[in-house]
Amino acid sequence: MLHRVAHRGYSTVAPENTLPAFAAALRAGATFVEFDIRVTRDGVPVVIHDRTVNRTTSGAGRVWDLTAEEIAVLDAGSWFGPGFAGLRVPTLAETLDLLAAGPAELLVEIKPPATLDEVKTIVAQLAERDLLGRSVIQSFDTDVIRKVRDIAPEVRRGLLLFRFDAETVQLSRELGVAYCNPDLADVLSGPETMAGLAEAGVGVMPWTPNDMAQWGPLVDAGVAGLITDHVGELTGWSTAPAAAPAAIL
């Protein structure tokens, strides 16, 4: 089965990394919901992509310089559209409470910097809701992946990459990851690395193919899933009868 991964939730129909985007992803048939975690100055994990709150909220400043209370009062929806005015940056706890009730797995990206205690807090919140078995914890930062491995070795891990390189397969083996998730261009241009990862039992879910014309070639290249902003469309495409994809494209 091709995993349908909702990138920051269903982020073309609701503001990225918000509860409405995650709810929409579940309704749209996502098999994984992907989201980003950063930790506030007072140690509260919140769900936001950027280092700063500037782009997606009414505030300004780096996430780790702000308290959870300061972030909680920001408007995280108006930038997307007036219908989402007043929406808040969700805490990790709020996000997990919503997703725990749905069928989808969780693709949890921990953004650096992240201390050992912060990673422990994130893993503990997953464990409290019995979500460790439904989660893949990923990062671009290999130190974060190693922390996750040390804290909860049973949890599936993912290595995010900007580019495949000569060390990709070896590094994936060393880290013991279940997934190696690069930019989509590397999947299409790196058949040798794709073959090496397949031999190592590592799945590949590239980011972020939003052009439907790319989906067929990526599937042909051997991906395990697609991390896309258009998860509803991907559900329709991937579940259509075998004869239909050409017509859909």
Q: What is the pLDDT of residues 26-68, one digit of tens each?
A: 999 999 999 999 999 999 999 999 999 999 999 999 999 999 9
Rg (CA), the chain: 18
| 242 — pLDDT class (breaks 50, 70, 90) | low
Stretch 195-223: mean pLDDT: 98
Do the strands 45-47 and 32-39 form a parallel or antiparallel pair, or are they unpaired? antiparallel
Identify the three-state secondary structure at position 148: helix
Q: Say what the pLDDT of residue 148 is.
A: 98
Of the residues 4, 7, 111, 157, only one is catalytic, namely: 7
- Answer whether the bond into residue 67 is a cis peptide, omega within 30°: no
CA angle 52, 95, 90 (to 5 degrees): 35
Mean pLDDT of the chain: 96
Of the residues 4, 49, 157, 230, only one is catalytic, namely: 49
What residue type is assigned to position 153 of the chain? P
Q: Say what the pLDDT of residue 241 is.
A: 81
Counting residues of the chain whose pLDDT is more than 90, the rounded percentage is: 96
Of all helices (H) and strands (E), which one includes residue 39?
A: strand 32-39
pLDDT digits (tens, 9 = 90+) for 59-87: 999 999 999 999 999 999 999 999 999 99
| 246 — pLDDT class (breaks 50, 70, 90) | very low
Identify the three-state secondary structure at position 27: helix
- Go through the domains of the chain in sequence order and give each one's CATH number: 3-40+98-248 (3.20.20.190)
Reply yes or no on whether 7 is catalytic.
yes
Structure tokens at 232: 């509803």
Identify the three-state secondary structure at position 28: coil
What residue type is assigned to position 241 of the chain? P
Structure tokens at 74: 């920001």
pLDDT digits (tens, 9 = 90+) for 145-196: 999 999 999 999 999 999 999 999 999 999 999 999 999 999 999 999 999 9
Q: Residue 248 above 90 pLDDT?
A: no
Reply yes or no on whether 3 is catalytic.
no
Place of tokens 């989906």: 215
In whole angstroms, what is the distance from residue 65 CA to residue 75 CA?
18
Residues of 194-203 as b/e, b for ≥16 C-beta within 10 angstroms?
bebbeeeebb
pTM for this predicted structure: 0.96
Stretch 130-144: mean pLDDT: 98
